[in-house]
Amino acid sequence: MEDEKPVWAPHPTDGFQLGMIVDIGADALTIEPLNQKGKTFLAPMSQVFPAEDDVNKHVDDNCSLMYLNEATLLNNVRVRYNKDHIYTYVANILIAVNPYYDIPKLYGPDAIKSYQGKSLGTLPPHVYAIADKAYRDMKVLKISQSIIVSGESGAGKTENTKFVLRYLTTTYGSGQDIDERIVEANPLLEAFGNAKTVRNNNSSRFGKFVEIHFNDKNAVVGGFVSHYLLEKSRICMQSNDERNYHIFYRLCAGASEELKKTLHLNSPDNFRYLSRGCTRYFASKDSDKQILQSRKSAEHVKVGSLKDPLLDDQGDFNRMCVAMKKIGLNDTEKLDLFRVVAGVLHLGNIDFEETGSSSGGCIMKNQSDQTLKCCAELLGLDQDDLRVSLTTRVMLTTAGGAKGTVIKVPLKVEQANNARDALAKTVYSRLFDHVVKRVNQCFPFQTSSNFIGVLDIAGFEYFEHNSFEQFCINYCNEKLQQFFNERILKEEQELYQKEGLGVNEVHYVDNQDCIDLVEAKLVGILDILDEENRLPQPSDQHFTLAVQTKHKDHFRLTVRPLGYAPFLFGFFHSFLFSFLSLLSLRISSTVDLLCGLFGVFGNILLPVHSVIVITHSFCCLLQQFFD
């Protein structure tokens, strides 16, 4: 840091603030903020950074900053964001800050045309430039390329993924309807796999890897979508402000009277799987008027519709039907999909009660008879089979004279409720698998030379109540981060060394220990979990104890005192929930990763793969900084 020059010093709420160093202590600096003359504060030396000469100037690429540190980088992105330049490079990584409104002409046909064949850096940073670079690399190197889109919920991953797909199909498509089909598949996937959460009205609750395939002339010939980790818990339960998957509401709001009758539909608050969350529809002032009062929940009638410029349940239902037709689904297939969706809703309304007999089992409540009938009819099941499957479990005798005999053991009410919910989750997730499979059949290809893949998966998640799903998502993100570490930091540094470049070693947080904790053979959490699963009487307590014993004092593991533990759950299926509230894994943060990346990218060579990094935590920090 140079004398008499402003510095960035930490600010408790704003991230960083500009100030002058007025005194240097043993470990701390005394800072006088530029906008509060006479007021000073102490800041740790390691958290004070030199500022650029002109803090209002911005650069397209963070690597062009004179001083590369967390504060200059944040400031550069902030200044750009305020001018609607939402994209910034870090070499060939792209940072995107979600503008939450349509920036005029940013993605239009002229913009698409202008990025075609242009090297990175010749035009302002853009997601189209990354897509074009991937295409050119694929063409020149004859190697398939991948674009990783990473960031927290609501950061804009899915929107940017869609821009990449649109760019590639528009610019390098064959001009046939296959290009349109690839783009049209999105509304269908989003209807079944997206939901309103507290952070994002259109949150993808599944991860996907979309491949755009090219022939030997490098023209688009087809696509393929692989999907991961659909959030199943949402099918049966959502928090107050969240909703189930869009399709449920779209069907209730948009189905014709005839379809509504066929599917025995009603307003969302009549279904258990919808009524515990938010039951309002997304609608504009006009479309709200078109939805019949009888289809609206009491909450919707009282408070009004949910508002989002991109979402409208009734209109989206009609758009989805058009998209289904465009990608080749006929009316029968369409109706079959809707029948399963409605069947799941009716399944959730089935109730049980104790029989009062000595067997201790339960029966279906009389009032559920009609619901059972609808559900069985919609799902194509025999009513009695469904009733028996929900109220009993099958046991095979393994010893004695009657070895292999099937015995039906009656379930208690709570067990039957669990069986019902498990069936609903399985049916819906199989339906989602089917939707993806059907979408894939819509853009088939005979041969393909190479592909460009776009990975769009949920970023790190940490809620007040975390379930097994958060555990899996975070584990996946740790693996992704390790890939970054290996691919970008470690390999690049090895290359520098090999080539004798005198570049200082860049230290980064290695998360191998975190990954080992989860996946190591025998002692990893997943193996311990499998082991617990095999016990005749698995329990939360025993599992938690096993993890604690095997990983005493592990840096990544926080163990709550046992007396505090919610060991009330009697059934095995739920033990993970209590386990997760007992042990919290300290995950490596995306910000750590970014700092690692930014630390080295001033010197880095271009890697083969293009990478987009979108960080929401980073955006939150920025937001504070901006206010």
Ligand X SMILES: Nc1ncnc2c1ncn2[C@@H]1O[C@H](COP(=O)(O)OP(=O)(O)OP(=O)(O)O)[C@@H](O)[C@H]1O
Minimum distance, C-beta of residue 199 to ligand X, in the bound complex (Å): 6
Tell me, yes or no, if 353 is annotated catalytic: no
Tell me, yes or no, if 355 is annotated catalytic: no
Nearer to ligand X, 49 or 282 (CB): 282
Which residue in 204, 349, 368, 590 is the catalytic one?
204
Burial 125-151 (b: 16+ CB within 10 A, else e): bbbbbbbbbbbbbbbeeeebbbbbbbb
170-209 positions binding ligand X, by CB under 6 A: 200, 202-204
Report whether 151 belongs to an annotated binding site: yes
What are the distances in angstroms from CA 174 to CA 25, 37, 143, 168, 209?
Answer: 66, 63, 20, 11, 22
- What lies within 8 Å, CB to CB, of 418 at 6+ separation is 571, 573
Contact 249, 274 (CB under 8 A): yes
Q: Where is 114: in which H helix or E strand?
A: helix 109-115
Tell me, yes or no, if 461 is annotated catalytic: yes
Minimum distance, C-beta of residue 316 to ligand X, in the bound complex (Å): 13
Minimum distance, C-beta of residue 547 to ligand X, in the bound complex (Å): 29
Distance CA 36, CA 514 (A): 43
Among 19, 125, 156, 268, binds ligand X (CB under 6 A): 156
Distance CA 164, CA 130 (A): 8
At 19 the three-state DSSP class reads strand
Which residue in 459, 466, 524, 610 is the catalytic one?
459
Report whether 157 belongs to an annotated binding site: yes
Among 27, 100, 286, 289, binds ligand X (CB under 6 A): 100
Nearer to ligand X, 364 or 458 (CB): 458
Tell me, yes or no, if 204 is annotated catalytic: yes
Which residue in 15, 19, 154, 361 is the catalytic one?
154
DSSP code string of 77-107: HHHHHHTT--EEEETTEEEE---SS--TTSS
Tell me, yes or no, if 239 is annotated catalytic: no
Minimum distance, C-beta of residue 568 to ligand X, in the bound complex (Å): 31
Among 19, 154, 193, 268, binds ligand X (CB under 6 A): 154
SS3 annotation, 377-407? HHHCCCHHHHHHHHHEEEEECCCCCCCCCEE
Distance CA 343, CA 266 (A): 13
Tell me, yes or no, if 222 is annotated catalytic: no
Which residue in 461, 478, 492, 532 is the catalytic one?
461
Nearer to ligand X, 302 or 465 (CB): 465
For strand 392-396 and strand 406-410, is the pairing parallel, antiparallel, or unpaired? Answer: antiparallel
Tell me, yes or no, if 174 is annotated catalytic: no
Among 6, 15, 125, 151, binds ligand X (CB under 6 A): 151
Report whether 121 belongs to an annotated binding site: no
Minimum distance, C-beta of residue 338 to ligand X, in the bound complex (Å): 24
Build a one-symbol-per-residue string for 290-319: x at contacts with ligand X by CB under 6 A, - elsewhere. --------------------x---------
What are the distances in angstroms from CA 283 to CA 219, 441, 612?
Answer: 39, 32, 33
Contact 57, 568 (CB under 8 A): no
Nearer to ligand X, 144 or 615 (CB): 615
Of 149-157, 217-225, 416-424, 604-612: span binding ligand X (CB under 6 A)? 149-157
458-477 positions binding ligand X, by CB under 6 A: 458
Bridge partners of 146? 453
Residues near ligand X (CB under 6 A), total = 19
Q: How big is the chain, counted in residues?
A: 627
For strand 362-364 and strand 352-354, is the pairing parallel, antiparallel, or unpaired? Answer: antiparallel
Of 113-121, 148-156, 345-353, 391-399: span binding ligand X (CB under 6 A)? 148-156
Contact residues toward ligand X (CB under 6 A) are 98-102, 151, 153-159, 200, 202-204, 310, 458
- List, as residue ranges, the binding site: 151-158
- Active site (catalytic) residues: 153-154, 158, 200, 203-204, 459, 461
The annotation places the binding site for ATP at 151-158
